[in-house]
């Protein structure tokens, strides 16, 4: 590591009896923590504290209110999540299911128009590499959206576009055991598991089709998708289809879900 300082951010969650809610203010919490940190102060140095081998600059210490929600989802029944604090410009939800399970998030837009944005991640920390989907602006084309995780954690981040007195959306979640589906025999209709949900990154489904002889052809019809030919510089954000004849790729396309009316 190079010489320098680190700006540390941490969450402090306080659980209070209803009788003490009005007594505990942001100012009181700030003052209490300030006094506690001062007890670790260095002699002769007023604005520094040595706490657990960390040198803290007290003059830069501050507490700000933030909208944070944590929800443990342990039953297969749908759990309604607490909405965002519309007095804040953003909010973060951490959803957790039992180990060996996956999460299914249901988003329902409640307003005809808004400029809010929801980003859903397939991990504990929001990162571009684990982004499942990003929803914007109370889409009337997709009033209800379902999003799947690959494991037992999911993170949802909300960014407020403009102030609303009412919640622009509702969130609910449920968990289920991870399923590994294999289809054998003749199939006239195939569909991706949990269709039409959005899928986490690096999810792969493979189908193999066999015809009686080379004189036969094969026609694929897509319901709920429209395809566009992929280019070398284009990133497929909602799925990629690779159609090949034996081992030779014939078509590489990007897929987008069509509105579900």
Q: Is the dihedral of CA 69, 129, 195, 75 positive or negative?
A: negative
Kindly state the tokens that stand for 22: 């009005």
Q: How far apart are CA 123 and CA 200, in angstroms?
A: 10
CATH number of 67-177: 2.60.120.290
The pLDDT assigned to 181 comes to 47
Average pLDDT over residues 212-230: 72
**pLDDT tens, position by position, 97-146:** 988 888 989 998 888 788 888 999 998 888 888 898 888 877 666 788 88
DSSP secondary structure, 70-119, as one string: EEE--SSS-EEPP---TTSSEEEEEEE--TTEEEEEEEEE-SS----EEE
> What mean pLDDT is reported for the chain?
76
**Cβ contact 171:195 at 8 Å:** no
The pLDDT assigned to 13 comes to 66
**Cβ contact 83:109 at 8 Å:** no
**Domain residue limits, the chain:** 1-65, 67-177
Q: How confident is the model at residue 156 (pLDDT cuts 50, 70, 90)?
A: very high
Q: How many CB atoms lie within 10 A of CB 236?
A: 14
Most confidently predicted of 63-72, 137-146, 160-169, 191-200: 63-72
Structure pTM? 0.58
């Amino acid at each position: 590591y190079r010489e320098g300082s680190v700006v540390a951010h941490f969450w402090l969650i306080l659980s209070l009896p209803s009788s003490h809610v009005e007594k505990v203010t942001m100012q009181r919490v700030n003052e209490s923590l300030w006094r506690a940190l001062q007890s670790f102060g260095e002699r002769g140095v007023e604005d520094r504290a040595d706490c657990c081998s960390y040198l803290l600059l007290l003059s830069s210490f501050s507490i700000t209110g933030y909208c944070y929600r944590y929800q443990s989802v342990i039953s297969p029944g749908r759990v309604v999540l607490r909405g965002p604090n519309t007095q804040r410009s953003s909010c973060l939800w951490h959803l957790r299911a039992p180990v060996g399970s996956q999460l299914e998030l249901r988003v329902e837009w409640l307003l005809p128009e808004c400029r809010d944005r929801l980003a859903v991640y397939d991990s504990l920390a929001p990162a571009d590499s684990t982004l499942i989907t990003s929803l914007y602006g109370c889409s009337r084309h997709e009033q209800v959206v379902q999003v799947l995780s690959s494991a037992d954690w999911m993170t949802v981040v909300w960014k407020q576009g403009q102030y609303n007195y009412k919640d622009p959306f509702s969130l609910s979640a449920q968990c289920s055991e991870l399923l590994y589906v294999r289809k054998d025999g003749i199939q006239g209709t195939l569909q991706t598991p949990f269709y039409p949900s959005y899928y986490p990154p690096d999810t792969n489904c493979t189908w193999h089709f066999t015809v009686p002889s080379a004189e036969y052809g094969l026609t694929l019809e897509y319901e709920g998708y429209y395809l566009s030919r992929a280019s070398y510089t284009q990133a497929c954000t909602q799925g990629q289809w690779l159609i090949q004849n034996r081992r030779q790729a014939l078509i590489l396309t990007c897929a987008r879900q069509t509105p579900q009316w």
